[in-house]
Structure 1
Amino acid sequence: MPHSTIRQGDIYLCEFRTPPGHEQHGLRPVVVIANEPYHLSIPRMTIVIALTSVNRRLPHHVEIQPDPANGLRYTSYAITEQPKAVSAERLRGDPSRLARGATSRADLGIRPDVHRANELVGPSDG
């Protein structure tokens, strides 16, 4: 999948290999958090956070309500403590899209952990 088609705020299904421990695995919905400058500098990779439908009531999980634009069928929660760099080849299907405000909330949840990479290569394209 070419980098030009992957955008921050896109929702894809991502194929995660079976990991050790408690990481996400299998075909999972994810939100792309890497921005356009990141994709231009590292074209075959992106940074994603997985979504879950389980509300663990953790303060760093970001709630995302389903709507026609994002394609989610259930209330989902961005697992912001587990950002992952993945090959663009793991992304499946056509993307749906988070609302701009939802992307910003997810960004705030992960900024201390992962947005350094985005800050090094340029501002977010939103």
Structure 2
Amino acid sequence: MQLHQGDIITVNFKDTEGHEQRGQRPALVVSDDHYNRFTRTVKVVAITSHGTDFPLHVVLPAGLQTFGQVLTEQERSIDPQAREVEFIERCPQEVLDKVLDLVTASY
């Protein structure tokens, strides 16, 4: 499956520790398409339906199949071929832009 920046997917976040998000949950692909093709991995940020108001969280707008908050502090690289990944929907560009701003600000 070829994934693209801005895709919302389901991922099984197994093998986690501490405060890392775990289990089957939605995630947003934040790595660009060139990175995804070249490395055959994708960078994702987890999405939760139980988030609290926090400066690093971006709320998904109404009207999407996926609801909740994007946890920009929960970025990780995954191999989509080795995980239970399924495409859900595309993230609106204005939401993706906010997420990318917060992710890149952490570097």
When normalised by structure 2's length, the TM-score is: 0.88
Contact kept? 2:11, 2:86, Cα under 8 Å: no
- Unpaired runs of 5+ residues, structure 1, are 115-126
SS in 2 for 1:20: coil
* Match 1:93 to one of 86, 91, 103: 86
> 1:98 is matched by which residue type in structure 2?
C
Aligned to 2:34, the other structure's residue is in SS state helix
Alignment match, 2:11: 14
Corresponding residue number in structure 1 for 2:54: 58
AA matched with 1:106: V
* Pairing partner for 1:40 from 19, 37, 61: 37
Paired positions, count = 106
Equivalent of 2:96 in 100, 103, 116: 103
Task: Report if the CA contact (8 A) 1:12-1:91 is conserved.
Answer: no
Q: Secondary structure at the match of 2:106?
A: helix
| Offset, 1:20 | 1.9
Structure 1 residue 88, shift from structure 2 partner = 1.1
TM-score (norm 1): 0.76
Partner residue of 1:31 out of 22, 28, 32: 28
Unpaired runs of at least 5, structure 2: none
Deviation for aligned residue 1:49 = 0.2
1:91 deviates by: 4.6
The answer to whether the 8 A contact 1:62-1:80 is kept is: yes
What letter is aligned with 2:74? Q
Kept in 1, the 8 Å contact 2:7–2:87? The answer is no
Identity %: 25
